[in-house]
Amino acid sequence: MGKLKIVVLYDRVVVDEASEQAAAGDKAPVVRSLDKKEVEEEVAEALTKLGHEPVMYELDGTQKSLLGLARADCDLVFNLAESFADDDTADFKIAAFLELLGRKYTGTGTHGLMLAQDKAVAKKIFAFHGIHTPTFAKCYRGRLDFSHDLQFPVIVKPAREDGSIGIEFSAVVSSIRELMERMDWLHANFESPVLIEEYIEGREMYVGILGNDKPEALPIVELDLSKLPDGTPRIAAAEVKWGKGTKAYRDTKSAVATDLPEETVALLQQTAVAAYQALELRDYGRVDMRLQPDGRVQVIEVNPNPWLSSRAEFCIAARKSGRTYTQLVEEIVELAFARA
Contact 22, 94 (CB under 8 A): no
Cβ at position 117, least distance to Mg ion in Å:
12
Which one of Mg ion, ligand ADP, none interacts with residue 203, CB within 5 to 8 A by kind?
none
* Residue 32 makes contact with Mg ion by CB under 5 A: no
Tell me the H-state helices in 130-278.
Answer: 176-189, 238-242, 247-250, 262-278
Shortest gap between Cβ of 87 and Mg ion (angstroms)? Answer: 18
Chain positions 320 to 339 lying near ligand ADP, rule: CB under 6 A, are none
275 lies in the binding site for ligand ADP (CB under 6 A): no
Element (H, E) at 44: helix 39-49
* Nearest-angstrom CA–CA distance, 161 and 164: 7
Smaller CB separation from ligand ADP, 260 or 300: 300
Instruction: Give the C-alpha separation, 102 to 209, whole Å.
Output: 26
Q: What is the DSSP letter of 29?
A: P
200 binding ligand ADP? (CB under 6 A): yes
With respect to Mg ion, which residue has the nearer C-beta, 30 or 74?
30
Helices (H), 50-159: 63-71, 91-100, 110-117, 119-129
* 175 contact partners, CB below 8 Å, separation of at least 6: 152
Q: Which residues in the 294-313 window bind Mg ion by CB under 5 A?
A: 301
Q: Do residues 333 and 75 touch, judged by C-beta distance below 8 A? A: no
Q: What are phi and psi of 6, to 5 degrees?
A: -120, 120
Give the residue with the Cβ less far from ligand ADP, 228 or 332: 228
> Which partner from the list Mg ion, ligand ADP, none does 197 bind, CB cut-off 5 to 8 Å by kind?
ligand ADP
Per-residue string for binding with ligand ADP, 225-264, x by CB under 6 A? Answer: ----------xx----------------------------
Under the binding rule (CB under 6 A), the answer on residue 193 touching ligand ADP is no
β-bridge mates for residue 92, sequence order? none
How many residues touch ligand ADP under the rule CB under 6 A: the total is: 19
| Residues near Mg ion, by CB under 5 A | 288, 301
